[in-house]
Amino acid sequence: MQQCLEPPVSLLSSFSASFNVSLWHTLGQVESTEARAMHNVGLAGLTYWSPNVNVLRDPRWGRAQETPGEDPLVVFKYAANYVRGLQEVDGQGYFSTQNRLKVSSCCKHYTAYDIDNWKGIDQFHFYAKVTAQDMEDTFQPPFKCCVEEGHVSSVIYLVSDCDSIEVYYDDIHYTRTRDDAVALALKAGLNTNCGDYLGKYIEKAVNLSKVDMSTVDQSFIYNYIVLMRIGFFDGDTKVQPFGNLGPSDMCTDGHQSLGIEAAKQGIVLLDNNGVPCRFTTPLQGMQKYLSNITYEPGCVNVQCTDASQNEAAAKAAAAADNVVLVVGLDQSIERESLDRVNLTLP
């Protein structure tokens, strides 16, 4: 099985750095095509928790690499076009195809989310002081656009107090038991849970009459509607729309060319994280044009936890006419649940 197209990822923004709405739409189409191809051979589902449309306000955030950037206008245009590319069955919209979905997309994380774990403060205990203007001008537009223009099929919400501890206690309700929390969440419209709370405590909540079975049924209905829209219950995938897609549709020359074009248009892009179809290292690229190259790794990993190779690299640099220093980040430096404390090189 060939590897799928991995769109370019940068420190501050992904392919949104191209500022090209048609490119975002096309990349969504390509990714959903490859998702369908993987689904047809049993290697992938059809519901995707993508894209991340949180506005990036601090580049130290561990999930900065997932976001479209710091500009709300760019973020919400990216959101709508990428979602449409992922979900549209025929490229013309949903209603011409009985509201079908190619894959199910999900805009995340609603709302005011830009911290994971920074100096002991995590996303679940963060006191988010957000003004009404900042909420409407910065945080909300991407989600509004996801729904109204992208017609996204789901939204992930995040537990954030949004400067509303009193509101959480009095209106949203702070609960003392897990089954109470599950009951209130279901009543508020939650349909699925990224975790184990619903699975563990929903039965107890029903048995204690804290939530009606009809409310549970409604949550199931909403989930099954999405599955019906992606054709999950339509039988043999080979005779369904997109049933002809398979390994030969993975990482095609056209898809690879699109990935290269996306990287070119977003020139600040630094990293193509994942397993690419094929790759050329910076060293290999330079060796194609230069014959006299001295290479020293300098560090054993991105964090440079072992300094034993530093001296050799320093000597090589001192003796060279020109030095090309290749540096960067990986998931050991920043990721979900791991924010950076500064912006210096690792």
Which residues on adjacent β-strands are paired with residue 335?
A: 338
Residue 296 has pLDDT above 80, yes or no: yes
For the chain, give the mean pLDDT: 85
Distance from C-alpha of 91 to C-alpha of 103, rounded to nearest angstrom: 13
pLDDT tens digits along 246-259: 999 998 999 989 98
Q: Is residue 126 part of a domain?
A: yes
How confident is residue 215, by pLDDT bands cut at 50, 70 and 90? Answer: very high
Distance from C-alpha of 9 to C-alpha of 272, rounded to nearest angstrom: 6
pLDDT tens digits along 13-25: 557 788 899 999 9
Q: Is residue 64 part of a domain?
A: yes
Residue 323 has pLDDT above 70, yes or no: yes
What CATH number has the domain bearing residue 231?
3.20.20.300
Q: Is residue 124 part of a domain?
A: yes
Which amino acid is it at 105?
S
Cα separations (Å) of 103 from 10, 52, 191, 317?
A: 25, 16, 18, 50
Q: Is residue 340 part of a domain?
A: no
Q: Is residue 315 part of a domain?
A: no
Distance from C-alpha of 144 to C-alpha of 76, rounded to nearest angstrom: 8
pLDDT tens digits along 151-163: 999 998 876 555 5
Q: Is residue 119 part of a domain?
A: yes
Query: In total, how many domains does the chain have?
Result: 1
How long a stretch of residues is the chain?
Answer: 346
Residue 137 a catalytic site member: no
pLDDT of residue 13: 56
pLDDT of residue 3: 53
Active-site position among 90, 116, 134, 161: 161
Which amino acid is it at 43?
L
pLDDT of residue 156: 87
Distance from C-alpha of 152 to C-alpha of 25, rounded to nearest angstrom: 14
Burial class of 90 by CB neighbour count within 10 A (0 to 12, 13 to 18, 19+): exposed
pLDDT of residue 212: 96
Q: Is residue 190 part of a domain?
A: no
Q: Is residue 1 part of a domain?
A: no
Q: Which range marks the domain in which residue 78 is found?
A: 15-174+212-249
Do residues 100 and 231 make contact, with C-beta atoms less than 8 angstroms apart?
yes
